[in-house]
Amino acid sequence: MARVNTRTRFIQGNEACTEGALAAGMRFFAGYPITPSTEIAEILAERLPRVGGTFVQMEDEISSMAAVIGASLTGVKAMTATSGPGFSLKQENIGFAAFTEVPCVIVNVQRKGPSTGMPTSPAQGDVMQARWGTHGDHPVIALTPFSVLEAFTLTVEAFNLAEKYRVPVILLMDEVIAHMRERVELPGPEDLEIVDRRKPAVKPGEYYPYDVEEEDGVPPMAVFGEGYRFHVTGLYHDAMGYPATGNPRLADQLIRRLVRKIEGRVEELTMVDEVQTEDAKVVVVAYGSVARSAARAVRLAREEGYRVGLFRPKIIWPFPAPRVRKLAARVEGLIVTEMNMGQVFREVERAVQGMAKVDLVSRVDGELITPVEVLTAIKEVY
């Protein structure tokens, strides 16, 4: 009994993610087997019934996402886990969750794509899919852990943000973080702040499910089965939740509120780890497993006297453009390093607006970028 309960653990990122989810109060998981995320489903199949929760292996990725949304509407914190191909399949229903404001967490353990790609190799090719995978304008939050401990803490954060803002939150892991084992001290319940969705304060009959005062407001959310008799639809809807597809003014209000709800809060949704950027001439921008190589490269460069720093966004969407811009105003160059052909690189360029030089160190062969590769780039740019 003592073995598993001990806070000090030697576990992989996928397992840490399940611990974080359970600590956050997640009690419903629906999924479909896919490498390299499968351990999450396997562990939760064992753990959830023990805590009164529910695990279900669905018939496909699409239904897993659907079941998660259905479960969340009954007031339960719900999640699914997948990888690139499955993430693509879930997109329509992720859009449904974003549009109907149903909180949920989607773990995407990124592997090398496109298509079936290299199922056991790491990549960071889904950054843009996490932002723009579903059709139409929509809000989304995505987090990128860089360690096993962060796979725990950012999963807790993912649930908190989903519940607070009523949005789907994507935990954008990668194969390295998912399968790497580290010794971690898992925070206990007393160290964690857990957020639950706000329920309506009014009686059934007085409840307007999508009524908000503010133009970026988050409406309280009733629970299916508690008498509120509300309607949830993927059509453009009015404050009652009823279809309002013929009303351009309401449509405009709704979509602008939904996007503003997240994009308009970019300052409070900025979660960045900055290391030695105060006096830096060049700063490396990295996230996920690549940030580990980048951190090492920065240390090595410092030892050799280079004034360099690391900028590591933990929340990647909404993109922390204001912070990047501030940084760009005081450095000469930024090096973005990522396992794709420049997805965050272009976001950084857009944020920097020519104030600093931006370079890309990318690797797309299914191998992790090494510290030496980043170090070499630092020396070239410096």
Residue ranges binding other proteins (CB under 8 A): 1, 3-5, 27-28, 30, 49-50, 52, 54, 56, 58-60, 62-63, 66-76, 78, 92-93, 96, 204-205, 208, 210-211, 224-235, 238-240, 242-244, 246-247, 250
Task: Report the residue count for the chain.
Answer: 382
Minimum distance from CB of 242 to other proteins (Å)? 6
Minimum distance from CB of 58 to other proteins (Å)? 7
* Partners of 333 in the β-ladder: 282, 357
Query: Closest CB to other proteins among 68 and 361?
Result: 68
Minimum distance from CB of 166 to other proteins (Å)? 16
Task: For 222-242, give one letter per residue: b (16+ CB within 10 A) or e.
Answer: bbeeeebebebeeebbbeebe
Among candidate residues 101, 121, 126, the one with its CA nearest the CA of residue 259: 101
Query: Closest CB to other proteins among 64 and 293?
Result: 64
Instruction: Return d(Cα 175, Cα 83) in angstroms, integer.
Output: 9
Contact between 345 and 361 (Cβ < 8 Å): no
Minimum distance from CB of 244 to other proteins (Å)? 4
Report how far apart the first and last C-alpha atoms of the chain are (Å, whole number).
54
Minimum distance from CB of 63 to other proteins (Å)? 3
Minimum distance from CB of 182 to other proteins (Å)? 21
Minimum distance from CB of 66 to other proteins (Å)? 4
Query: Closest CB to other proteins among 66 and 316?
Result: 66
Query: Closest CB to other proteins among 30 and 368?
Result: 30
Contact between 110 and 172 (Cβ < 8 Å): yes
Minimum distance from CB of 1 to other proteins (Å)? 5
Whether cis (ω within 30° of 0) applies to the bond prior to 318 is yes
Task: For 116-155, give one letter per residue: b (16+ CB within 10 A) or e.
Answer: ebeeebbbbbbbebbbebbeeebbbbbbbbbbbbbbbbbb
Query: Closest CB to other proteins among 3 and 365?
Result: 3
Query: Closest CB to other proteins among 171 and 244?
Result: 244
Query: Closest CB to other proteins among 135 and 278?
Result: 135
Dihedral angle, C-alpha 152, 158, 159, 163, nearest 10 °: 160
Minimum distance from CB of 267 to other proteins (Å)? 28
Contact between 113 and 84 (Cβ < 8 Å): yes
Burial class of residue 103 (count of CB atoms within 10 Å of its CB; 0-12, 13-18, 19+) = buried
Query: Closest CB to other proteins among 76 and 259?
Result: 76
Instruction: Return d(Cα 310, Cα 139) in angstroms, integer.
Output: 28
Query: Closest CB to other proteins among 56 and 300?
Result: 56
Q: What is the CA radius of gyration of the chain?
A: 21
